[in-house]
Amino acid sequence: MSWLRENTLNWIQYVCLKVVKSGGVPNHVAFIMDGNRRFAKKNNVAKVEGHTKGFDKLAETLQWCLDLGIPEVTVYAFSIENFKRSTEEVNELMDLARDKFKRLLDEREKLMDHGVSVRVIGNLALLPEDLRQLMSEAMILTKDNNKAFLNIAFAYTSRDEITSAIKSLVAGVEKKIILPEDISKHVISQCLYTNKSPNPDLLIRTSGEIRLSDFLLWQTSSTCVYFSKVLWPEFSVWHMLTAVFHYQRNRQNIVRLKNFEESCSLESCSLENHQVDLFLEDLHSQRQMFMEKARQAKY
């Protein structure tokens, strides 16, 4: 199954989508795609079948987001905690990811035509080398695209992300590149894997669970959260439209919250700081180099 799909909506769904779109859509939507295994169990099929169905649903959802005019999407594909699952299931999931990233690279023309930039956020060092290579390849290939952004959280947890940010900052202070007093909320945000993205406006979690499970905890302080009971493979365009409409109805409150938070950080945020800029530039180029190395690895 392909990443970019043709339109699958019937005319009535299409009209409703247009109606919702006319009310103003979020700039960035995050998804916790939960319920693949419960879907498999419910339908008496193998777990991997559930995960495959989940991926197909992702492709479909990305198309809806494009149709709605939502430029950025972040999805929680694989948590570091998921490594605790059975070896068999972890291997199956890695195989599925390999398969899908190969597919993505095969479709590079389509991807470039649509101007989609793909970023994998997470601790890539925890992944098998060949998968890391495929991911790096996709990221480097699409890094200059700017019409739509797809962030895939893989081997990700929010605590791991924050820990890694703190570690690089403390290392920067130790090497005297920056001063401890330069470290602020804003600088930490810039050290996270998501430094290129605005914070999500809407977070959708499926399958009836009502927690964030270590996903984007730092980035969602003024995000409208929408918990849906539906299992991810059964997520339909109606659920998507309901979630966006829910966001629209709460928009005023979110804007107020965002403004308040920004006014707080402005007070503590020092003006332009050359040293901090240098540090961040260095950190980001290190990450870029890590990707280049992963892409060229031979095994």
Smaller CB separation from another protein, 1 or 257: 257
Smaller CB separation from another protein, 56 or 209: 209
Stretch that binds another protein, among 63-71, 116-124, 218-226, 232-240 (CB under 8 A): 218-226
Counting contacts by CB under 8 A, is residue 226 touching another protein? Answer: yes
* Residue 133, token pair as written in the block: 């290579």
Q: How far is the CB of 212 from another protein (least distance, A)?
A: 6
Counting contacts by CB under 8 A, is residue 238 touching another protein? Answer: no
* Residue 216, token pair as written in the block: 């984007």
Applying CB under 8 A, among 2, 8, 81, 108 the residue interacting with another protein is: 81
Compute the chain's Rg from CA coordinates. 20
Q: Is 155 helix (H, G, I), strand (E, B) or coil?
A: strand
Applying CB under 8 A, among 214, 236, 273, 295 the residue interacting with another protein is: 214
94 burial level (CB within 10 Å; 0-12, 13-18, 19+): middle
Counting contacts by CB under 8 A, is residue 259 touching another protein? Answer: no
Counting contacts by CB under 8 A, is residue 21 touching another protein? Answer: yes
Applying CB under 8 A, among 6, 44, 210, 271 the residue interacting with another protein is: 210
* Residue 50, token pair as written in the block: 């559930």
State the binding string over 162-201 for another protein (x if CB under 8 A, else -).
xx--xx-xxx-xx-----xx-xxx--x-------------
Alpha helices in 175-236 (DSSP H): 185-191
Applying CB under 8 A, among 2, 7, 14, 23 the residue interacting with another protein is: 23
Q: How far is the CB of 73 from another protein (least distance, A)?
A: 19
Q: How far is the CB of 267 from another protein (least distance, A)?
A: 11
Give the number of residues written for the chain.
299
Counting contacts by CB under 8 A, is residue 217 touching another protein? Answer: yes
CA–CA gap between residue 8 and residue 109 (Å, rounded): 21
Is 62:31 a contact under the CB 8 Å cutoff? Answer: no
- In the chain, the DSSP E strands lie at 28-32, 72-79, 116-121, 148-156, 202-205, 224-227
Smaller CB separation from another protein, 52 or 220: 220
Is 40:46 a contact under the CB 8 Å cutoff? Answer: yes
CA–CA gap between residue 207 and residue 157 (Å, rounded): 19
* Residue 121, token pair as written in the block: 């956020």
Q: Is 77 helix (H, G, I), strand (E, B) or coil?
A: strand
CA–CA gap between residue 48 and residue 40 (Å, rounded): 8
Applying CB under 8 A, among 220, 231, 235, 283 the residue interacting with another protein is: 220
Counting contacts by CB under 8 A, is residue 213 touching another protein? Answer: yes
100 closest CA partner among 63, 154, 47: 154
Q: How far is the CB of 45 from another protein (least distance, A)?
A: 20
Applying CB under 8 A, among 13, 36, 52, 222 the residue interacting with another protein is: 222
Counting contacts by CB under 8 A, is residue 211 touching another protein? Answer: yes
Which run of H or E residues covers position 75? strand 72-79
Q: Which residues bind another protein (CB under 8 A)?
A: 15, 18-23, 79-85, 157-160, 162-163, 166-167, 169-171, 173-174, 180-181, 183-185, 188, 209-214, 217-218, 220-227, 245, 248-250, 253-254, 256-257, 260-261, 264, 268
